Amino acid sequence: MSGHSKWSTIKHKKGAADAKRGKIFSKLAKELMISAKANGGDPATNITLRTILAKCRSVNMPADNIERAIKKGTGELQSEALEEIMFESYAPGGVGLIIQCLTDNRNRSVAEVRHTLQRHNATLAGSNQVLRNFQRRGQILVDANGVEEDALMELVLEAGADDMEHEGDQFEILTEPNLYNEVSEKVSAAGYQVFEESGVNFVPTAWAPVTDKDQAASLIKLIEAIEELDDVQNVYMNGDIADEALPDDA
């Protein structure tokens, strides 16, 4: 699973939380609204909401922002209607991208994503052309610093996880989507640090190798540009970036 994990590692090392705090809060607010709308605003009965709240706490999202987003989701406060849109794209070199958006303006999202892809020499793909190389999985990314691998492995397998791999400075734990919340909560309760990129994600099943340093730099710039768009919630790729191709500051 090195490609996705390496990209997650790059994002951790860049430490962009302060510079992008407003974007992070906006993204989490949308997730709170969607979850509360679907399954109610009580985290005791809405386990997905409980997981999102843990992410909110990890980035110190203000309580007022959290409460307001949940109330918008449950209808206690008026809010815009959000629509989910998913784009499939090919970056230069054949790397596949899946771009998830939550938006109140479909035309704006389509125009912004298309323009960003064009600026970075990427193209939109047809339905399922990229998606067929990914699988929906629960993916828990855990800080590996000071962690005893055997102990964590025993914990997650007993909790129902399918697999765990050590990738650089983190562990990647994979589960069935319906078991993500249960396993993630047990990992957090045991004191392990779960990175905010964790969730029910699209995990690649087929990889596109990236061995050229210029290609890797262009790919990372493309993904960062897409993530800057207000309506974008998540970006997934199947680029397996070789260690020697990683940027010097990664």
Model pTM? 0.86
Question: In which order are the strands placed within the sheet that holds 232-237?
Answer: 123-124, 83-91, 95-103, 232-237
How many other C-beta atoms lie within 10 A of the C-beta of residue 134? Answer: 20
Query: Which has more pLDDT, 11 or 177?
Result: 177
What is the rounded CA–CA span in Å between residue 198 and residue 74? 25
pLDDT digits (tens, 9 = 90+) for 212-230: 999 999 999 999 999 999 9
At residue 40, φ and ψ (nearest 5 deg) are: 90, 165
Residue extents of the structural domains in the chain = 2-74
- Confidence (pLDDT) at 15: 47
Task: Choose which CATH entry (1.10.10.200, 3.40.50.970, 3.40.50.620, 1.20.1050.10) describes domain 2-74.
Answer: 1.10.10.200
- Confidence (pLDDT) at 58: 83
pLDDT digits (tens, 9 = 90+) for 157-215: 999 999 999 988 899 999 999 999 899 989 999 999 988 888 889 999 999 999 999 99
What is the rounded CA–CA span in Å between residue 87 and residue 215? 21
- Confidence (pLDDT) at 8: 55
Least confident among 106-115, 228-237, 239-248: 239-248
Give the β-pairing of 208-210 and 239-241: parallel
